[in-house]
Amino acid sequence: MRDRTRSRCRGRRARRALVLLTGVVPVVAGCGISPTDAREVARPPTVQVPPPSKTIYLLKDGRLTKEPADVESDTVESLLTALFAASRQPLQDGRDTALRGFTLEGIKDSLNPIRRDEVQLPRTSTLTVIVKGEGTLSRPAKAQIVCTAQQDAAFEQVKIVHRYENRPSVVEGRFICGDLK
């Protein structure tokens, strides 16, 4: 007897739910808004990002100065390649470079966060510039490297690693352009 009562209750609930749903669907479907064709009134909003700089930092009368660079692309590596290429050619109009005798060995960036043990470490924005050459990197030489690299706003600081021919590499430090000017 109890089973029969339960099945009647279930049947009544199911019928009530069905009646409610059939009453709600037409109300939702006929909400009073008639469909219209979409019209394009104006262009969608866009953001104009200025192109990266195509300048390098050289020295003029012992001070840093921006100079136009003939680069293949707008990447930091291309700018640094142009900076070091300028140190192998004669410069005019009082321009000079403190990078004579040094070559660019490569760069490494840490913009892509490292994953360890499935935990994403904080994103750092350090560009490591690897320089090769004998002698000492002067403050103006470091400033040329750092200020040229930091034209890309993604890099908060620049780490310079100095490689030598017959001795271990030395980390010259981490720098910000404003501190070296």
Which of 129, 69, 68, 63 lies closest to 96 in space, CA to CA?
A: 63
Using pLDDT thresholds of 50, 70 and 90, give the confidence band for residue 73.
confident
What pLDDT is stored for residue 41 in this prediction? 77
Using pLDDT thresholds of 50, 70 and 90, give the confidence band for residue 49.
low
Using pLDDT thresholds of 50, 70 and 90, give the confidence band for residue 8.
low
Which of 60, 47, 112, 49 lies closest to 91 in space, CA to CA?
A: 60
Burial, 133: exposed, middle or buried (Cβ in 10 Å; 0-12, 13-18, 19+)?
buried
Using pLDDT thresholds of 50, 70 and 90, give the confidence band for residue 72.
confident
**Average pLDDT score over residue span 3-15:** 57
**Above 60 in pLDDT, residue 113?**
no
User: What distance in Å separates the CA atoms of residue 127 and residue 146, rounded to the nearest whole number?
Assistant: 9
What pLDDT is stored for residue 30 in this prediction? 55
pLDDT, tens digit, 9 for 90 and up, residues 124-181: 589 999 999 998 999 999 999 999 999 988 888 999 999 998 899 999 999 999 999 8
What pLDDT is stored for residue 152 in this prediction? 85
Please state, rounded to an integer, the average pLDDT across all residues of the chain.
Answer: 81
Q: Yes or no: say if 80 and 145 are a contact pair by the CB < 8 Å rule.
A: yes
DSSP-derived 3-state class of residue 165: coil
User: What distance in Å separates the CA atoms of residue 65 and residue 151, rounded to the nearest whole number?
Assistant: 13
DSSP state letters, 92-156:
-TTEE-S-TT-EEEEEEE--SPPEETTEEPPP--EEEEEEE-SS---HHHHHHHHHHHTTSTT-S
